[in-house]
Amino acid sequence: MRLKDKIAIITGGANGIGKAYVNGFSREGAVVVIADTDYKAANNLAASINNKGGHAFALNTDVSAIRDTEMIAEETVKRFGRIDILVNNAAIFGRIKISREIPFNELPLDEWDKVIAVNFKGVLYCMRSVVPFMKSQGGGKIINITSGQFFTGGLGKSKYAHYIATKGAVIGLTRAAARELGEYSINVNCIAPGSTLTEESEDDEVKERRIQSPLQSRSLKRVEYPEDLIGTAVYLASSDSDFVTGQTIIVDGGGVMN
């Protein structure tokens, strides 16, 4: 088990790709803190893991609120004494609907603010909250989830500039933080998934785009599923990546080669 007894916080871990990270880390022996606004789903997932012999607990968390992110860090340290891993997965896109057909200059400004608050500020707040503890304990791993859409500018004819812009900002923050935190043995890296089909209910048109549009440019001609991302996340969370920082690993079946 590559993450045995490591303490990992995973935001947005109750559903979709986040749920895959939670299950994958648990199988590798990590104690997982599932931080999500969908507390019922998070609590059910934690119970399922605990019933199987793992160790997880849920926290009702809005990452766009700094006090909530401070609470995650404080509660985790109170219970377990440390924070080894942070996975910043929480984001607005699939489960929380945003506009996808409106040009960037016509998107409502309040929707820009909403997406920025979760997708960028949420990552910043979580990092700010855990870094003091990671510094004091002598190291840690931070994994920020960006998107392959940053490299392509979008998927097919869809338009969601606010989402893409925030995912680019996450890459910038990751690189800057990696420079600053390296002397404390804190690794900061990104995973950029391609368009991934989850179990979450979406309208048929969106599902069709997720399945068909990426296949045209993808080297591996199949659908991407959340499970395809677990190996990369475990690698970045484990000691295998101790000399890797400031990097963005694109996991999309060879659609983007950057």
Residues in the chain: 258
Q: How is residue 240 annotated by DSSP?
A: G
Nearest to 8 by CA among 41, 45, 55: 55
Residue 163 is among the residues annotated as catalytic for this protein = yes
H helices of 102-183, in order, are 109-119, 121-137, 149-152, 161-181
Interacting residues of 163 by C-beta distance below 8 A, sequence separation 6+: 91, 92, 93, 98, 115, 119, 147, 149
Buried-state track 202-224, b at ≥16 Cβ within 10 A, e below 16: eeeeeeebbeebbeeebeeeebb
- Choosing from 39, 125, 163, 184, the catalytic residue is 163
- What gap in Å lies between CA 238 and CA 143, rounded to an integer? 11
Active site residues: 163
